[in-house]
Every structure is written in C-alpha cells, then in structure tokens.
Homo-oligomer: A and B are copies of this chain.
Amino acid sequence: MKKILNTPENLVIEMCEGMIKAHPDKLKFNKKHKIITRKELNKDKVTLICGGGSGHEPAHAGFVGKGMLDVAVCGDVFASPSTIQVYNAITETESNKGTLLIIKNYSGDVMNFEAAAEMAEEDDDIIVAKVYVNDDVAVKDSLYTVGRRGVAGTVFVEKIAGALAEKGALLEEVKAVAEKTIANVRTIGFALTSCTVPAKGTPTFSLNEDEMEFGVGIHGEPGIAKEKLISADELAEKMVAKLMEDLPFVEGDEVALMINGLGATPLQELYVLNNSVNKELDKAGIKAYRTFVGNYMTAIDMAGASVTMLKLDDELKELVDAPSDALAFRC
C-alpha cells in the first residue's frame, strides 16, 4: 500500500485536523466525536447535517459552509459514524428551526442516524427530520443497502437544501426541497481500478488491464458487471442511456450535471468525459444548465468517475445557483 499516511488508526483524526488547520477561519472540529461544523453557527436556520464513512473526501466536510451544510459527522473509513457521534452532532448544533439529517442510503448509516435522531427527539426535544438519498441507478439492492445506494447526487441535495435553509425556510420546506431533489437526481459510475482501504492495505477487488467495473459503488462494492473498457464517447453514451432509462429526462429538460472523479482520476480525463457526455445530452435535446467537474464524492484512491444528472425546475435552478462558500463547492 502506497499512501501518505502515519497509521491507519489515526488517519481520520489527522485528516480532519489537517482540514481545520487549512481553514481555521471557517471550520471547527470536535475531536472526541469527529464532528466538523461551521465556525459560526446560525441558530435561526434549520441545521443541516450530513455524514457517513470517511474516504469520500471532500464529502462531507468540504461541503460545510454558508449555503450548504452546517455539520459533517466523520465515521471511520467506509464505516458509518456511530449513533453517539450523530447524536452529539445533533445536540451540539441545535437551532430554533429543527435539524435535517441528509442520509446516504446505506444500512449502517440509516440505522445509526435514525437511532441518533430518536434519542435527540426523546431526550432533548429537538425536532429532527430525515431524508434518504438513493441516486445510484446501478443496483436495486446492494451489499450494504436495502434499495439503492446514495452516491454523488447527495452533493446536490446538500447544495439545494443548504441554499433554502440559508434563506431561513422552515424545516418542512427544507425537507420537501431535499426530497424533490432526491426524486429528480440519478447517478451511474464506473471504476478503472479498485480503491485500497488503509486498514486493509490491499485493493478491494481486481480488474484486468482491459476491464472496468461498470456501476461500481463508492466503497469498491460491485456494480453491474466487469466489462471491457470502452472509449470516453462510448462510456458517455452508455451512462447517459442508463440514467435516462431510469428517469425519463426528455427533450427540453435542463439539468445540473456532475462529472465526479472517484479519487485518483486526473481532471484531464474528467473534462474529456464531460465533453463526451455533452454530446449525448445534445443528441437528446437536454441542456446542461450548470456543470460541475471534479472530485466531489470519492472512493479513496479509486480511478474512475460517475455522472450525475439532476432534472431542474425554476426553484431548483435558483437554489443550485445560490452562493455557497463551502471549501469544495464555491459558487
């Protein structure tokens, strides 16, 4: 295993501290519970919390900031944060307008976030709403989920719910717009190489030199199939078709598009893929209203990418465009 690392055991803490040292003006870190929050919390807005296993950087701490999240809870690598971590995140950041948990649909996260919400509601009278992101069209159920997995589409949910919360909206309004986003967002990914979980030290799966894993998840879990690697244009055609088969995007639709690197993919290749995806959208008469190309929801050091399409209406457009000063999502 070749990594910039001291020990796998201290990785998450050191990473969070490295993040705080880079941005002491913006972020605070509760080391005991591995919670990263905005430096200044606003009690008069709905608190937005996301989290999950580490290894998906910049998700989610990179999306903490004005116009996006208030709090990110950091689990160990590819492991849900514990109920106690999430509970502390909720109670420490209580606002006058309630709390929304944005949960990626993985069994561990669902269990721990729900238990924490229950505790906070019962013991502390905090009103906690929950949404479940399940944008990955690759598989119906998976190794770690009942139902679909939540992947890069989560970033759009954070952005849009974050923008509405920042305007002072009520908890039910913020929850409703998050659910509308979830209903309209779809993702499909593929891997060229496996990731290596630091505590394990060897790749999670193997691929031949001419193979890709199509429909891969963000933890190196299997996708649809091992297939022959194809060109960027062919990949784009296959991916856009898969997304459109699932949600009937139609001619004239406007979408927010995310071309997301899985951790070890050079930006060069992501822009090539964006070019190819745009050709497919042109064919279908769909317009990319806003495009985001980069590493947003990664799988440690996996090479590969995902494509996310979010169908927009006027409300979602305005919220996608709203300002955000989160480290990894400036707009």
Chain A residues with a Cβ under 8 A of chain B: 2-6, 11, 14-19, 21-23, 54-55, 57-58, 62, 192-193, 209, 212, 229, 231-233, 235, 259, 263-276, 278, 288, 291-293, 295, 298, 300-301, 303, 305, 330
Minimum distance in angstroms from A273 CB to a CB of chain B: 5
Minimum distance in angstroms from A144 CB to a CB of chain B: 20
Q: Are A18 and B273 in contact (CB under 8 A)?
A: yes
Q: Are A272 and B22 in contact (CB under 8 A)?
A: no
Count of chain copies: 2
Known: A6-B233, A235-B4. A271 touches B57 (CB 8 A): yes
Closest-by-CB residue of B relative to A234 is B6
Q: Please, could you name 30 A-B residue pairs with CB atoms under 8 Å apart, sorted by A? A: A2-B192, A2-B229, A3-B269, A4-B235, A4-B265, A5-B231, A5-B269, A6-B231, A6-B272, A14-B275, A14-B276, A15-B268, A15-B271, A16-B271, A18-B275, A21-B275, A22-B288, A22-B293, A54-B268, A57-B266, A57-B267, A58-B267, A263-B267, A264-B264, A264-B266, A264-B303, A266-B300, A268-B300, A295-B295, A330-B330
